């Protein structure tokens, strides 16, 4: 359902060096950094992943994995607002829209701290990608906790918010762009997505080979295949997230010109200017802020 849930299931085996049953894992930047830091991934053999050079320049050299020796982006995307268009025909474009009185008890937000808190912090005028203060973070926690205790927020969860939108238990969410576009496609355009007026977040999920995998070369072959532009375009057409592979947009023109022009799959500078990557946290701050978030959400 989210990064912490998965990590909790496999951390014990990783520490003991036991096979976790996965040859490739896909984890969000901050969790990918933790795995690399703890030695839970295997470095790539560059000769086995020649398509690695197709990664978008903006993703080539990241703080958690300089030189991309242990990871390659699977997909990236935006966190913002999703909603039921039939029940909210005016849409949800601001935090005030999200927490409108009529939505009380039918709102869900993400259990991924950086996405939910990043959106709230930007609403409060704080740049979540910069060196913010503890007080600024805790002010956002207080805002979230108040919305939970007041009954506005129904649940805090990972990907399973999609089922609640479909069932009607939730009518508006802080959610992920690709999820909402898939829901719209599968439900005759019933759902929509928007980056908040005050700013959304940009995240990436990254393919890595666990330290316990006995099939490293096979895993590298799979990763290399996904970085073929033609294959990457097919994946993007299915998942509707931001494609990390150069050359895929031209291939997408052959599949679906509408998707090739989508700012949510191949964003231009204007689309990217509306989102922030949550700041990297020290291990101490990670623990402190995650603990505060979990206390507020009851997770």
Count CB atoms within 10 A of the CB of residue 57: 7
Interatomic CA distance for residues 138 and 99, integer angstroms: 19
Confirm if 106 and 164 have CB atoms less than 8 A apart: no
Ordered structural domains, the chain, with CATH: 3-75+203-254 (3.40.190.10), 76-202+277-297 (3.40.190.10)
**Phi, psi (degrees; rounded to nearest 5) at 242:** -70, 125
- Asked whether the predicted pLDDT for residue 229 surpasses 80, the reply is yes
Count CB atoms within 10 A of the CB of residue 169: 14
Q: What is the pLDDT of residue 219?
A: 99
Q: pTM for this structure? A: 0.89
- Per-residue pLDDT band at 63 (split at 50, 70, 90): confident
Q: What is the pLDDT of residue 299?
A: 72
- Per-residue pLDDT band at 129 (split at 50, 70, 90): very high
Model pLDDT for residues 150-182, shown as the tens digit of each residue:
999 999 999 899 999 999 999 999 999 999 999
Q: What is the pLDDT of residue 163?
A: 97
* Helix, strand, coil distribution of the chain in percent, nearest 5: 45, 20, 35
CB burial of residue 179 (10 Å; 0-12, 13-18, 19+): buried
Pairing of strands 153-157, 172-176: unpaired
**Mean pLDDT, rounded, for 182-199:** 96
């Amino acid at each position: 359902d989210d990064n912490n849930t998965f990590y909790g299931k496999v951390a014990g085996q990783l520490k003991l060096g036991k096979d976790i049953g996965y040859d490739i894992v896909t984890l969000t930047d901050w969790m990918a950094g933790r795995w690399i830091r703890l030695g839970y991934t295997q470095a790539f053999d560059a000769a086995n992943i020649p398509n690695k050079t197709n990664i978008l320049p903006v993703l080539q050299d990241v703080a958690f994995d300089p030189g991309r020796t242990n990871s390659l982006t699977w997909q990236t995307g935006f966190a913002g607002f999703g909603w039921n268009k039939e029940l909210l025909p005016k849409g949800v474009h601001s935090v005030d829209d999200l927490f409108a009185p009529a939505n009380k008890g039918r709102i869900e937000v993400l259990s991924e701290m950086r996405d939910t808190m990043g959106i709230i912090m930007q609403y409060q005028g704080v740049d979540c990608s910069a060196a913010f203060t503890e007080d600024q973070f805790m002010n956002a926690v207080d805002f979230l906790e108040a919305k939970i205790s007041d009954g506005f927020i129904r649940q805090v969860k990972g990907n399973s918010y999609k089922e609640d939108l479909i069932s009607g238990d939730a009518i508006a969410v802080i959610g992920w762009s690709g999820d909402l576009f898939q829901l719209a496609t599968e439900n005759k355009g019933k759902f929509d997505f928007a980056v908040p007026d005050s700013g959304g977040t940009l995240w990436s999920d990254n393919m890595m080979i666990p330290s316990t995998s006995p099939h490293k070369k096979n895993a590298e072959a799979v990763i290399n295949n996904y970085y073929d532009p033609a294959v990457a375009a097919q994946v993007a057409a299915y998942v509707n997230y931001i494609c990390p592979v150069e050359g895929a947009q031209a291939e997408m023109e052959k599949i679906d010109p509408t998707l090739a022009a989508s700012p949510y799959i191949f964003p231009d500078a204007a689309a990217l200017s509306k989102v922030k990557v949550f700041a990297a946290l020290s291990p101490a701050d990670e623990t402190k802020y995650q603990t505060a978030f979990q206390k507020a959400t009851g997770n």
